[in-house]
Structure 1
């Protein structure tokens, strides 16, 4: 279940209440006239089944509540109520399959912002991966994958493509390109420093490295894994199962490929640097392609579900 807290202008409260009462899957409606001070208005609260949430939010935006008042949404971890159970049963479809587009857009917008924190995380992840490739240490590679925050802007880019929001697409693309560029440049300097300290060496980079040589040898398996991880990552976002994102993060070699390219470049190993760059681009393409197609499929299937529900209600 989801909890909605609204601030509505007094002249729109009746329309909002009627909308909530007509929404199948909404319950626990409460109205507090004149309770809001900034902005001034009434406070309206209700609970709604996740599968009915997108429709209700869309109706509220049509009424202009997001401009003249406020719409706040939060997940309910526990709801002990027969009315809530009945609302979930009556709502069309399954909650796990529902996509809250406004929530997804808001979440990916925040994750897609080029910030100091984002750049710091991706840079630290790339430097950790650099240590992993030189030491041929798979544990460090997995750790770097988990630290890397690059899936956020990739998900934002997919969402922007599906929702046709050019500004979000540009924001996400800038975060991806600038983030990786800064991380790789800093890692080149880090590699020079580690070499001066006799901790990195050209011989270590040129060695067979059985645990990590896949990073600069892209193949179709790399693309297949990226596609599968991209689909899993997008599903985890739309179904609010964020725990699956950790698995997605350690499935795709974006950060390790960037790290290997940077270290190889510092040692003038351009062939290996180019192979790593190909691996990076291949993985980014696979994630974007799978994420976009996953969202499009979810959008199509949910639209069909709503059509079937509307026809059954009319009948």
Structure 2
């Protein structure tokens, strides 16, 4: 049993009360299994490398002086412009890479930066359960309180194989969950772990509720290139919804490079500037050569799918 720490050496409550994360438990159990190899169906990482041209771009970047030094805190201009160009077709206007895009050290740190930027102790954040487990620690770190709203499976879901689209939002419970302390709603589409792609109608209702109550929307869209049904980005539904929305993206999911830890947030300047400020205080800047390689990845994408 670990020795009790003297009172002056005790950790802060924000970390002392956190339990072991589910991934550590799963990975330790998998490593201890007598049957090997174990296929991990839980985490969103890949069993193969990024495309060779992206790996070569990372190698080339390592030979450049500027790519071995600090990048701008908001991200390398080439990568921000490539992301803005790639996502502009979905928006109602051309995204400004300088004010509407910020690069983070993975999508997870980007979400932490968003919570650190806007959540004060006691503020409430609504998440739909089941959910990506990192939301808990990220929200609790700045003192936020999590409010759970369930995604409901079909009534006979225990007796048959059902589509993820059959999981539904209980809008009555969502509206009842909102209080004067509600600061943010987190959406994850395509959803981890259910796989549900929220419909345009569902997103419109969520967006309208947030507009009515002046609630920030954090839309975790890291799986935005992995879907088989029509996919809607909530920020694109109306100017009123866009004004409240931060959209999260991930190079790890787009380019099969989860270990590179390159992510981004997109949103209106009045939100992005505070996410950037929080990111600067958490990480300062993100990994330079891997940002450059991701820029090459997006530029290649744009060459195949021109605007």
* TM, length-normalised to structure 1: 0.21
Whose RCO is larger (CA < 8 A, sep 6+)?
A: 2
More helix by share: 1
Bigger-Rg structure (1/2): 1
* TM, length-normalised to structure 2: 0.22
